[in-house]
Structure 1
C-alpha cells in the first residue's frame, strides 16, 4: 500500500499563484530512475564479462583488463545512447513549445478557451476553469499551456548532457562492484563471491527501480535478480567450455 500515492496528493490542477513544478519533479524522478537502471546495467554486464573470464583464466591482469574494458565500453556506450535519445526528446519539446508560442500569438482567444476546457475536463466548474485559465494566462500564457497541454516546463527541459553524465556515473559505480569482488576474492572463491555480491546489488537496484516507478517491489526485484543470475550463469558456462586457463 505504501507504493500508492495518498489520495489528493497531486490533483494535477494548478492553482492561481502556484508554481509549475510538476515537470521538474518528473525530471528528477527520471534522472533517479535512469541512475538506478544504469547501475543495474553496469552490474550485470560487467559481472557477465568478469565471471566468464574468471571461468577460463586465473590471471588477475587478464580478468582486470577484460573487466575494465567492459566497464569503459559499457559506460561510454550508455552515455552516447542517452545523449542521442535525450537530444531527440529535447528537440521534440522545443518544437512543441514553438508551435504553442505561434498559436498563442496568432489565436489567443481560442487558446484561452482551450486552456479553460482542459481545466474543466479535470473536474473544475466552467466558471472556475475560466477564472484559472485567465489568471494563469495573464501570468505566463506559454507556461500555463505547456503545463496543462504538453506537461512541460519551458524552463526545465530535459538535458542530454545530464542524462549522459548520469549514465556514465551510474554504470561505472555499478560495474565497479563485480570487478572489485572478482579481483579481491581469493582465487577459489572468485566466482561465488562475485555471484553473491551481484545478487545483493541487484536486489537493491530492483527494489529501488520499483519504488521509483511505484511498481510492486517483489516482482521487479525477482525479475532483476533472475535476469542478472542468468547472464552470469551463461557467461560462466561459456567460459568454462573455452577453458583457456591463461
Structure 2
C-alpha cells in the first residue's frame, strides 16, 4: 500500500503553537520534506525530532516532487513542512499535493497556524467573506491585472508583503483601489506583534517616516456595495432619461418594464420617469 503525505502546519513565530499531533506525526513518518532544511532543523531539534529530512522548495518542486511520490508509492509516509505556517498556502506544497492525488496517494492535513487567517481574525475588518491573494505577482503586467481585479473586489482582501517592499505596494494599492481601511499585521504570534489599523493614506504617511520591519500581512476592506451602487447610478445619470429608456427598449423590453428599470437604476420614482418623458 502507498504511504500517506501529511501536510504539517508549523508555528509562524511562537513555538508554543506547535500541536501535540504535529510533533507525533513528525516523529513517526519516514521522511520530512522541508522548504528550508537549515531553518527547519532548529524546529526539529527543539522538539527532539530525529526523523531524516530532505529539501523541497520552489526551485526543485517538480524534480524532487517526483522522487517524493516514488517514496510514497513504495509505502513510506512523508510529512511536508514549510518555513512557517501551513504547507500549500503560498508555497510549492500545492504542486506535490497535485502529484499525489494523480498517483492515488492519500493526502491529509495536520492543521495549525496560518498567517493569513491569524491576521484576518485580529484585523477588525469583516471576516465573513475574504479573498486571499498572497504576494502580488512580480511581473508588472500580471501585477496590474491582479490590482485591477482587487479594485472591484467586495470581499475583505488579504495580502502578504516583505518589509522592504511594503511602502511601494501600499502606494500601488492606494493608486488603484483608493483610500480604503487597512490593517497591517506584523510579527504575528511573536513578542512584538502589532496590528496597525488605519486608512491607506494614514498608512502611507506613517511608513514614509517609519521603516517597516518584520513580515507583513495586509488586510484591506473590500469595495462597499454602496460605492458600487453610487458608481452605477453615476453611469446612468450620464445618459438622458430618453437615452436610458432607449437602452432597454432596444433589447425588446416593453415600455412599462423599461420605465420601471430606469427608475430603479437612477434611484427615482416611476412617476418622475413618466414626467420627464412627457
Task: Report the TM-score, using the length of structure 2 for normalisation.
Answer: 0.24
Relative contact order higher in (CA < 8 Å, ≥ 6 apart): 1
When Rg is computed on C-alpha atoms for both structures, the one with the higher figure is: 2
Task: Report the TM-score, using the length of structure 1 for normalisation.
Answer: 0.26
More strand by share: 2
